[in-house]
Chain A
Amino acid sequence: MADNTGEATVDETVAPKNPERREFLKNLPVLGIAWGALAASVGVILAGSLRFLYPNVLYEPPQQFKIGFPDDFQVGSVSTAFKDKFGVWIIRNEEGFYALISVCTHLGCTPNWLSNENKFKCPCHGSGFYMTGINFEGPAPRPLERAAISLADDGQILVDKSQKFLYEQGGWDDPTSFLSFA
């Protein structure tokens, strides 16, 4: 008599139950690979998305730039010619050159050089700095920062804003913060 329930009981050696096939994907190495692959792909997607947010092309003026020959600058003068484009003042005294970064140390506004009063004055909250960059009035807590300054091979002065020197950390003692030029 045709009886499909009877087949398994009639002869179990003919069609034995095969647990290995059913359990194949449940063993630890396979599970580890599967979950690991999922975690890895999610991690890569997240990391890739985060890296995507970092711009590779910046429409900003370069951090390193040449500003001309030493003879273009008068001794005892503050040059504001590079403030708009590069954000630095170039000051020359008897010993040489230094570059001050035109960002107020209070909250980040751009100060102005007032030549008749011989000081940098910030329009936002009135911070005042001497020609050396030292703060003396207003809410600025520390002096203006210097940028690295050196002489390039062609004789022009090279300023590098990616290297900053802070007076209160002893940075102005670093020779790279000052270009000696008699």
Chain B
Amino acid sequence: MMGRLKGWFSDFTRTPVWKSVFRHKMPKDPKNRALAVLTNVFLHLHPVRMRKQGLRISYTWCMGGLSFFLFLSLTVTGILLMFYYRPTAQHAYPDMLDLMESATLGLMREMHRWAAHLMVITVWLHMLRVFLTGSYKPPREFNWVIGVVLLVLTLLFSFTGYLLPWDQLAMWAVTVGSNMARASPGVGVEGPGSQLLAVGGVPLITSGSDVRFVLLGGRFVGEGALLRFYVLHCIGIPFIFVMLLAAHFWRVRRDGGISGPGKGGRLAL
């Protein structure tokens, strides 16, 4: 009976239906194993092969991978949270409580929050590991720069997400944080040089037009700020983050894959 089943299957793999999906044979030999990865849009960023040393966790700590895993968890839990959360002053806090008390499992919000805290920790540890293994040296200097920008974006993710529960902790934390924007040079109304930008005697930078005003959509943290931070948190920052993440991964692959002991020095191209 197994013979008839296997015969049927190998016939099926020769049909146009199968061949239109899989453009390679079964990954049983090196060539087809390579093709299975290379011809797949999701997998092709993975190296076809990697040195066994690259898997040494005592060397890599796996913090970059963990950060990416946490980012994916945050994206999935975040999208699920969006089905029940409404970013208005009237609904934000009650919806957040409902997600914990009424939604099935009641864990989604907690998972999202935990993943967020852990991601901040793992990206810092990743940065430390890259520094300790010297993986920022040429030709990898610019990837370090991209990594620093990703770090700042991770912190901005945390900052914008922190406001969304709309509780006292959230509102005051963002008030204090946004007050710092007010002291920016030039574009902040209480910062140095704010009076320089004036057209015909009318100051361009006032409490109703400086960078803090644009960030909050108002003069203080109110409903406008909640909606803006929600959009930034769910759409704005993810777009930029994903683009830089793609560049970050691409550069690692291009420069010879994850660093491992014994690789050291400039990549022989």
Contacts and interface: CB of A to CB of B under 8 A. Distances in A.
B214 interface: yes
B218 A58 contact: yes
In the A-B complex, the 7 residue pairs with the closest CB atoms: A107-B176, A108-B179, A108-B175, A55-B217, A53-B214, A58-B218, A60-B218
Interface of A: 53-55, 58-60, 107-109, 124, 162
Contacts of B206: 162
A108 B176 contact: yes
Interface string B73-113: 00000000000000000000000000000000000000000
B223 A59 contact: yes
B176 A55 contact: no
Interface in B205-259: 206-209, 213-214, 217-220, 222-224
B202 to A, nearest CB: 13
B213 A54 contact: yes
Given A54-B209, A109-B172, A60 B214 contact: no
Contacts of A107: 175-176, 179
Chain B CB within 10 Å, residue with most, of A59, A60, A107, A108:
A108
B175 A109 contact: yes
A54 B214 contact: yes
Contacts of B207: 162
Contacts of B208: 162
Interface of B: 172, 175-176, 179, 206-209, 213-214, 217-220, 222-224
B224 A124 contact: no
19 contacts: A54-B209, A55-B217, A55-B218, A55-B224, A58-B219, A59-B223, A60-B218, A60-B219, A60-B220, A60-B222, A107-B175, A107-B179, A108-B172, A108-B175, A108-B179, A109-B172, A109-B175, A162-B206, A162-B208
A54 B179 CA distance: 18
Contacts of B176: 107-108
Nearest to A58: B218
A107 B218 CA distance: 18
A53 B225 CA distance: 12
B187 to A, nearest CB: 12
A108 B218 CA distance: 15
A24 to B, nearest CB: 40
A146 to B, nearest CB: 15
A109 B179 CA distance: 11
Nearest to B214: A53
Q: Which of A55, A109, A124 has the most CB of B within 10 A?
A: A55
A49 to B, nearest CB: 12
Nearest to B219: A60
Contacts of A124: 172
A58 B219 CA distance: 9
Contacts of A53: 214, 217
Contacts of A58: 218-219, 224
A146 B222 CA distance: 23
A142 B172 CA distance: 20
Contacts of A59: 218, 222-224
A62 to B, nearest CB: 11
Given A107-B175, A108-B172, A108-B175, 11 more contacts: A54-B209, A54-B213, A54-B214, A55-B224, A58-B219, A59-B218, A59-B223, A60-B218, A60-B220, A108-B176, A162-B206
A111 to B, nearest CB: 13
A55 B214 CA distance: 8
A15 B206 CA distance: 69
A53 to B, nearest CB: 5
A60 B222 CA distance: 9
Contacts of A109: 172, 175
A124 B176 CA distance: 11
A59 B88 CA distance: 13
A53 B207 CA distance: 15
A58 B206 CA distance: 15
Nearest to B176: A107
A109 B220 CA distance: 11
